[in-house]
Structure 1
């Protein structure tokens, strides 16, 4: 893919390593338009990659590279286009935290280096450019192909991995990433952490001692009709023939509760009865 500006001066190396700074040279360019031209190259290659993979939108752009901690390896051919060079393709990688299934079906939490996008211009494919890009990335990151995870690889990319690196048997996953058997075999226990089990839904925890005290204080501040006692009140036993037994069994209010009669000693009760009878007789006879 060629551009109206000089790629050979914009990208001094055959393979340039770009990060969020969008700077291919070891020292920043003195030209102010260098960063915008670099962004143009990345954006156009990203659009071509999305079209080749039949994606609805590009997954690689200058803005996304600036916003993430990814690395983009951009390959150029400086002898083409009259010495101004052409962009051949790129390989984008980055670290991702993934929950994967191992060969036994157990969930494992890990953060491997992942291949996120890989594209070589259609007219320059099958010339060894893709393999050159991939080998450069492996040496730069000091990683083996089976130790990596691959995000939504195409059938062409899977055939590339099988042909050049003998990666054939993948471990089925529930996400879009593909890993191979060597991924779990060649990693240490520190790199592969068992994912913690999920808590059961609807779990109800008992009130703590502090929460129970707060509820009691809140109930004390409420007026009488709204107080809800935490203990069941003890009612005195009633006889089966009592007229209040049925009402108390279905709930009753304090106004319906019979008031207890005061206890009067027998000698005072007889005196009161005698005086009452005397007063009644005097009234009936007309004496006042």
Structure 2
């Protein structure tokens, strides 16, 4: 009779996507060479743009041989053509996003290309147009202003996209959608109203409507100190001296009102941050939609009229 052997323990296999996910995971300490490469290429392109303009301003188109750097010179046409090419490069991000093509590079890499070459496109457009464009050709000058507005809105969106999430992380205990924020605010207001209806004493009403709200500071004040929500509630309760100004049987209800008021103040700030994250997008999209046909009109009026 042979002794039975226990089955060997087999280590669980990692899920099939584990290797793929780990290869794409971005860590804060890792150097993103593809993003740096995008900015390096943009810097080289910007240097070439400035070099062409300087060649026109100080060598080729210097009076009396020329009228200085303008859009209708050889260098001006070269800068205009380069601006169109850069516009198409920048537009590849939107095309890729709409078609959801994920094969070539990562989304954030394309975003860096979109931003870096968008800035260079703005520089090329300004140097192509020349300083007298607004007075000499108002239509083309208006197009230049719209173009610069497009770039400025994109830069603003990038800054907002970096700054606001960091501030949002400081004050939120959990990630919430805008709809969740609205629903929670409504529930908190309703709860405060019900608590006030059940406690109509003058001291309690004054504490809930005046004393406690004035003691709650901007959520970023607490966020910089890394205070969690229970710590903020405790600090407000102590600052308002609620234990001394209210009867003992009202302490629990008053603390609940403080909790609701603190939560609502934080939700108000979160809602403003959520709004800021989206506010620049309609402006950027509208200017993008406006600039493309305007670019075609600009080229037609220059070459055919």
| TM superposition score category, shorter chain reference | under 0.3
> Greater share of helix residues, 1 or 2?
2
> Greater share of strand residues, 1 or 2?
1
Looking at CA atoms only, which structure, 1 or 2, has the larger radius of gyration? 1
Whose relative contact order is higher, 1 or 2, with alpha carbons under 8 Å and at least 6 apart? 2
